[in-house]
Amino acid sequence: MSRYKTIVKMTIAVILLFSAIPLKAAADGPGVSAHGAVLMEQESGRVLFGRDEHSPMRIASITKIMTAIIAVESGKLEQRVKISNSAAGTEGSSLYLKPGETVLLKDLVYGLMLRSGNDSAVAIAEYVGGSLDGFVYMMNEKAREIGMKDTLFQNPHGLDDHEDHYSSAFDMALLTRYAMENDRFKEISATEVYRSPQEGEKWDRVWRNKNKMLKYYKYSTGGKTGYTKRAKRTLVSTAEKNGMELIAVTLNDPNDWDDHERMFEWGFHQFDLVPIVKKGPVSGVQKAYKNKVEANRTFYYPLKESEKQDISSTINVYRYPKDGKWKNGEAPKPIGRLFIELAGVEIGNLPLYYEGEALIKEDIGVWKSLRQMFSQFFFVKAEDSTDG
């Protein structure tokens, strides 16, 4: 009997040991097989999970996200592009464009994103950039503008024709976050099937999106696939659930479809997109400012349940004039700023305005942990004041 009890105790101990492992994994992040990975929240840009996310690596065809957004922003989508011999002859994944035919730039962008056409990438680059080199210059300028610090583009398609064409998971998430702010890009990225009329033919080209996440993951909203022999499998995907939008990037990942679903599910389970400051009058100001100092937008931030108690804020405003009259007849714009911190680290700030348009009244009753600290400051000279 004692031996039986010992076996039972050992069995229970083993069960408890292994049942604890997923809990630890959930706390640390989702398990992924990628060499580089990141999960970013769209609204704030907060990194929810990362693995070597700043390490430069080959990126293959997710390069085309940059090519696409530059084309979309060019304002030339309804113009026709004449396909050159060099574009038509580009190796690898192809739309089978023919030299001399003309195609709407819009259609080339759809073909670029859905079918990953390398010929389309070169045609876009030549048309929008004036030349391949001119377009690559535009790509790198845009990368600097967005804040991509570990990125260098050498072509518009991601083929391994240069040793120094690379990016990082974090940078590609930054790029995707930027691109997804554009409604036209967002629409293209989410398209599953697209038909493009073919010049001189009775039948259309039909392109189906290679991004399987759109079909197999119900919250998927878009993305871009990539593969070369040297880069291996790369994938960018986006998803939205309950108003929170996430961006997942994996580089050199043999199990990318499953990893992206796992990352999304982990992110949606672990974090809530919280309206920390709501559009409208803010609390925590002196009596003279009550119901008159307003935030012009709602500030959202993804938080774990355990982090909500660590939110604090500071309000800095101009001192209210003793006689109630502002110099030059009106209050400074903005009247001040509201700084938001998570565990002592600033995560955002908002300009505050005095007696602006009718705004939604803030209800911070549920935010008992939101500590409002009011401080005033003087300006000796009018020219010392600055816009926020």
Task: Give the closest residue to 73 by CA, choosing from 222, 179, 189, 154.
Answer: 179
- The beta strands (E) that lie in 184-229 are given as 193-196, 205-208, 220-228
- What the block records as the tokens of 45 is 């840009």
> Which phi and psi angles does 252 have, rounded to 5°?
50, 70
- Burial of residue 370 (CB within 10 Å: 0-12, 13-18, 19+) is middle
Active site residue 61: yes
Which residue among the candidates 61, 120, 237, 313 is catalytic per the annotation? 61
Helix, strand, or coil (residue 201): coil
User: What does the longest C-alpha to C-alpha distance in the chain come to?
Assistant: 93
- What the block records as the tokens of 309 is 């108690």
Active site residue 220: no
Distances (CA, A) of 133 to 86, 127, 155, 287, 374: 13, 12, 8, 61, 54
Task: Give the closest residue to 293 by CA, choosing from 341, 348, 337, 339.
Answer: 337
Whole-number Å distance between alpha carbons of 315 and 339: 6
CB-based contact 219:240 (threshold 8 Å): yes
Spatial CB neighbours of 300, under 8 Å, sequence gap ≥ 6 = 43, 44, 273, 274, 275, 276
Whole-number Å distance between alpha carbons of 157 and 149: 20
Whole-number Å distance between alpha carbons of 362 and 18: 46
Active site residue 64: yes
Whole-number Å distance between alpha carbons of 93 and 61: 10
Which residue among the candidates 116, 167, 283, 313 is catalytic per the annotation? 116
Spatial CB neighbours of 187, under 8 Å, sequence gap ≥ 6 = none
Length of the chain: 388
Active-site residue numbers?
61, 64, 116
